[in-house]
């Protein structure tokens, strides 16, 4: 199973739907007021930047894994999921004061009159995207019973991801242990995969044991991806990452590899880490301590354990063979890619 080819195929499908949807929103915005049209035009550019549409593709692949085909209804849901995902990204970039997202300016940095102006537009746009996401899902054409389950799912997971982001921000000011990191992570990427995978399953007609299996699989995929994404954010170069790496260290965030580092480092290493915080010039020193303590390898192993568990759970569902093979291949690839970062 060539997971990259299949993911590219689904990405192309959802991007065509997104283009049509966003062009319509730009036109509607311009009819209301030229500035609102400008905001929607910038939003169109922001959302359509090249990248893997893993969130929406997961929904489409799961749906097809139960129904055997895609249709216009699930494509509208896919659009809603991309809007939902970007509503979270805009706010996340704002809180983290990131300057770049997928090779371009973060949304709050597109509007540069002053900080209050850019931040305000980003807050309102993120809120707007969440409402548009639910609207797109509700207008997809599925029966109301299924739609109610899916909208409730997204509402609950939107609450969850915001709770996790608050906890993640709180961690910047103290040192959590592994157990508390998992409490936070249970509602971070896990909540996104929970919403996207289960929505595809519900709309595709899955019931009972499959929903339970996929819920647990989504949680493990989320853990694996969170750990991997945090490692990339610390150890990748700018070309790989699409923006300058090391931002998490500058803001003293506590990804799992840093949780382990703070536990395993000796006093002199802890002092060196604290002196480096906030200074991008000293990031390599922190990276070396993460490697030397064994924290990096310990975090990688955790990601691999969660990846393996997710594959086991998906294999037990009634999904078709193609879908099972896709997730097995893709999750394995993600786990193995950890070896690139040393």
pLDDT digits (tens, 9 = 90+) for 261-309: 999 999 999 888 887 776 666 778 889 999 999 999 999 999 999 999 9
pTM, two decimals, is 0.92
* pLDDT value of position 1: 54
Integer-rounded Cα Rg, in Å, for the chain is: 20
Which pLDDT score is estimated for 155? Answer: 96
- Name residues of the chain where pLDDT drops below 50: none
Write down the pLDDT at residue 234. 87
Percent of the chain with pLDDT over 70: 95
pLDDT, residue 237, reads 66
CATH superfamily of 3-340: Farnesyl Diphosphate Synthase (1.10.600.10)
Q: Where are the domains of the chain?
A: 3-340
Beta-carbon count within 10 A of 260 CB: 22
- pLDDT value of position 239: 59
pLDDT of residue 339: 79
Q: From residue 157, how far is each of 90, 261, 304 by CA, in Å? A: 17, 30, 24
Dihedral sign computed on CA atoms, order 12, 13, 16, 18 = negative
Residues 56 and 81: their CA atoms lie apart, in Å, by 6
Q: Is the dihedral of CA 236, 239, 240, 242 positive or negative?
A: positive
Position 235 scores a pLDDT of 87
C-alpha distance across the termini of the chain, in Å: 28
HEC per residue, the chain: CCHHHHHHHHHHHHHHHHHHHHHHHHHHHHHHCHHHHHHHHHHHHHHCCCCCCHHHHHHHHHHHHHHCCCCHHHHHHHHHHHHHHHHHHHHHHHHHCCCEECCEECHHHHCCCCHHHHHHHHHHHHHHHHHHHHHHHHCCCCCHHHHHHHHHHHHHHHHHHHHHHHHHHHHCCCCCCHHHHHHHHCCCHHHHHHHHHHHHHHHCCCCCHHHHHHHHHHHHHHHHHHHHHHHHHHHCCHHHHCCCCCHHHHCCCCCHHHHHHHHHCCHHHHHHHHHHCCCHHHHHHHHHHHHHCCHHHHHHHHHHHHHHHHHHHHHCCCCCHHHHHHHHHHHHHHHHHHHHCC
């Amino acid at each position: 199973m060539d997971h990259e080819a299949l993911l590219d195929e689904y990405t192309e499908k959802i991007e065509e739907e997104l283009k049509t949807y966003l062009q319509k929103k730009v036109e509607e915005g311009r009819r209301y007021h030229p500035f609102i049209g400008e905001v929607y035009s910038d939003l169109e550019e922001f959302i359509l930047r090249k990248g893997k549409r893993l969130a929406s593709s997961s929904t489409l692949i799961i749906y097809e894994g139960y129904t055997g085909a895609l249709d216009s209804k699930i494509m509208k849901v896919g659009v809603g999921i991309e809007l939902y995902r970007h509503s979270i990204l805009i706010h996340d970039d704002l809180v983290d004061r990131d300057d770049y997202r997928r090779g371009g300016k973060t949304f709050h940095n597109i509007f540069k009159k002053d900080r209050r102006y850019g931040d305000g537009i980003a807050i309102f746009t993120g809120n707007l995207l969440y409402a548009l996401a639910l609207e797109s899902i509700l207008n997809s054409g599925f029966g109301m019973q299924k739609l109610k389950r899916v909208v409730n799912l997204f509402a609950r997971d939107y609450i969850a991801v915001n709770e996790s982001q608050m906890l993640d921000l709180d961690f910047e000011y103290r040192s959590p242990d592994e157990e508390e990191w998992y409490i936070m992570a249970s509602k971070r990427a896990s909540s996104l995969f929970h919403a996207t995978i289960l929505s595809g399953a519900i709309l595709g007609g899955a019931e009972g044991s499959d929903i339970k299996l996929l819920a647990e699989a989504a949680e493990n995929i989320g853990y694996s991806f969170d750990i991997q994404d945090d490692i990339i954010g610390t150890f990748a170069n700018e070309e790989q990452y699409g923006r300058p790496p090391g931002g998490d260290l500058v803001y003293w965030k506590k990804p799992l590899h840093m949780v382990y580092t703070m536990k395993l480092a000796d006093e002199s290493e802890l002092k060196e880490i604290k002196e480096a915080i906030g200074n991008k010039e000293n990031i390599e020193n922190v990276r070396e301590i993460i490697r030397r303590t064994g924290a990096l390898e310990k975090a990688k192993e955790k990601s691999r354990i969660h990846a393996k568990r997710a594959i086991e759970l998906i294999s037990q569902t009634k999904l078709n063979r193609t879908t099972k093979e896709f997730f097995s291949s893709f999750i394995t690839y993600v786990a193995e890619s950890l070896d690139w970062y040393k």
